[in-house]
Amino acid sequence: MEKKIIVTGGAGYIGSHTCVELVKSGYTPIIIDNFSNSEKFIVDRVEELTGKKIEVEEGDCGDYEFVKSVFKKHAEVSGVIHFAAFKAVGESSNLPLKYYQNNLLSTIIMLKVMEEEGVSNFVFSSSCTVYGEPDQLPVTEDSPTKPAESPYGRTKQMCENIVTDFSKVTKGFKGIFLRYFNPIGAHPSSRIGELPIGAPNNLVPYITQTAAGIREKLTIFGNDYDTPDGTCIRDYIHVVDLAKAHIAALDYLLAEKEDCLEVFNVGTGNGNSVQEVVDTFQEVTGVKLNYEIGPRRAGDVEKVYSDATKVENGLKWKADISLAESLKDSWNWQQSLK
């Protein structure tokens, strides 16, 4: 039987890579996207990579009637992967109501329609930002969540709370929160990858745009942290590995007979400093980066990386792709955009 999966935000960076992996694993993705932060040609590229026509429903997940119509049109949906959300940390501080309305409402409406249509399997795109500045490293799923540093981070915490409360009163509901660390890289074909609008918010696209001459220079924010080289430490995970974690989460939910709500960190289990990322990029590409050390940036956590034990045991998933390979894929993707 065909296993249809609604993928909200499926034309975005992580969503598009997940759609490729869904098709490879025998699922049928149905994309919901309003293309406010993604490009339509990416769907064509997903079709090219999978050799399969991808159904796309263009609209907003905050529109109840639209979401309802999608579920009615595609009978017997097996589950939902919910990526759709605004995600720029800086912008969220300037436009908090935009973020609360979009990110919370889309999640509420998705759950409401799922309940009405009898769809029980839900994978939620969460974030390691829920941990804030951790007391101990590596971060486990039992690490306490801290007050978020931004409205964006708070929307992820609030959505987790909404799903948790919903699960307690909804018989048959099965959900997974995937708390991502730092997704980087691009599909090895260089046909899909990250497409930041304007100046990138994340390190690796800023590196590749600087290397390509789009940005004049890269600023490393602070080299006086309590880390081996003074720069912040993060857990960088290849987007294809991350996409495969969503397949593992779906497989788990569809095999699970009982109601459940699980949390899994999705990371490599290793931390790399910003300086290490810059040095590794220069090493694997042979491109010298124009960079400088600047002051610390408000809201930056000093170091955070995951304990991947639970996801490796529970979902039988493990990150396979190295930092060097990830950076090479990011650079190949950047060069393909010329």
Active site residues: 152
Q: Say whether 32 sits in a helix, a strand or coil.
A: strand
Amino acid identity, residue 50? T
Spatial distance between the Cα atoms of 278 and 281, rounded to a whole number of angstroms: 5
Spatial distance between the Cα atoms of 71 and 8, rounded to a whole number of angstroms: 12
Helix ranges, 130-238 (H): 151-169, 203-211
Nearest to 176 by CA among 243, 251, 263, 84: 263
Bond before 138 cis per omega within 30 degrees: yes
Spatial distance between the Cα atoms of 164 and 331, rounded to a whole number of angstroms: 39
Dig out the tokens for 220 from the structure: 């490393």
Helix ranges, the chain (H): 13-24, 41-50, 64-73, 89-94, 96-117, 151-169, 203-211, 239-255, 274-285, 309-314, 323-336
Q: Say whether 60 sits in a helix, a strand or coil.
A: coil
Amino acid identity, residue 302? E
DSSP annotation of 303: B
Sign, CA torsion 85/86/89/93: negative
Dig out the tokens for 112 from the structure: 């409401």
Nearest to 201 by CA among 292, 107, 299: 299
Spatial distance between the Cα atoms of 318 and 244, rounded to a whole number of angstroms: 9
